[in-house]
A and B are shown apart, each in its own frame.
Chain A
Amino acid sequence: QKEVEQDPGPLSVPEGAIVSLNCTYSNSAFQYFMWYRQYSRKGPELLMYTYSSGNKEDGRFTAQVDKSSKYISLFIRDSQPSDSATYLCATLKAAGNKLTFGGGTRVLVKP
């Protein structure tokens, strides 16, 4: 069983809709939770970062972590075609440790 599971998609939504992405993880030692965005033919780039349970908002993006159920979510409001990308969740046990990635979910936002 992979330590971080993510539905591969693709997830197709119309422009302006809310995109809802999630990951589950199995290791309760994970303390830090990230979302990376990867455009086609590019390397991943950090989008959101959270530590411990709760919500974090940044513009149209909201990241949620529920450590009790080992569940990570990313919501994109008012989605744009430029949000079309693969979204990877990632976790860390401690600062300076290696990242463990989910498989990524491909998102398509249609105009």
Chain B
Amino acid sequence: EAQVTQNPRYLITVTGKKLTVTCSQNMNHEYMSWYRQDPGLGLRQIYYSMNVEVTDKGDVPEGYKVSRKEKRNFPLILESPSPNQTSLYFCASSPPRDTDTQYFGPGTRLTVL
């Protein structure tokens, strides 16, 4: 089954404790992206990657890092999480010219205390 998987699905952590949210897709897509979703603000792009070893900032990259060492994986790293990073996070992927048709993962709900 074609899918985007994220882990963990739920995470409660404390300020300053480094964490990684994993994202993996099995559709051989070049384009991958991370979004955060907050009430009233919709989905905002954090980082995206056009292919392996190619990443770029989205609209709200501050406080986040990403890496793209393999085509299928695109982890999101919070080196020192803060409460304002409490949010619902989505990973998505698509073929490079089809970013209108992005396939989204199930989401990771992160709470930073």
The 3 closest A-B pairs by CB, nearest first: A43-B104, A103-B42, A101-B43
Q: Pick from A61-69, A70-78, A90-98 the stretch touching chain B.
A: A90-98
Contacts of B92 in A (CB 8 A): 43
Q: Whole-angstrom distance between the alpha carbons of A88 and B39 in the complex?
A: 12
Least CB distance from A90 to B in Å reads 8
CB distance B106 to A96 under 8 Å? no
Contacts of A43 in B (CB 8 A): 4, 90, 92, 104-107
Contacts of B104 in A (CB 8 A): 43-45
Interface positions of A from 39 to 74, Cβ below 8 Å from B: 41-46, 49
CB distance B42 to A6 under 8 Å? yes
Among B44, B45, B102, find the residue whose CB has the most chain A CB atoms closer than 10 A: B102
Least CB distance from B22 to A in Å reads 15
30 contacting pairs across A/B (C-beta < 8 A): A4-B42, A6-B42, A32-B100, A34-B100, A41-B107, A42-B106, A43-B4, A43-B92, A43-B105, A44-B90, A44-B104, A45-B103, A45-B104, A46-B101, A46-B102, A49-B100, A90-B100, A95-B97, A95-B98, A95-B100, A97-B99, A98-B45, A98-B48, A98-B99, A99-B43, A99-B45, A99-B99, A99-B102, A101-B43, A104-B42
Asked if B96 CB lies within 8 Å of chain A CBs, one says yes
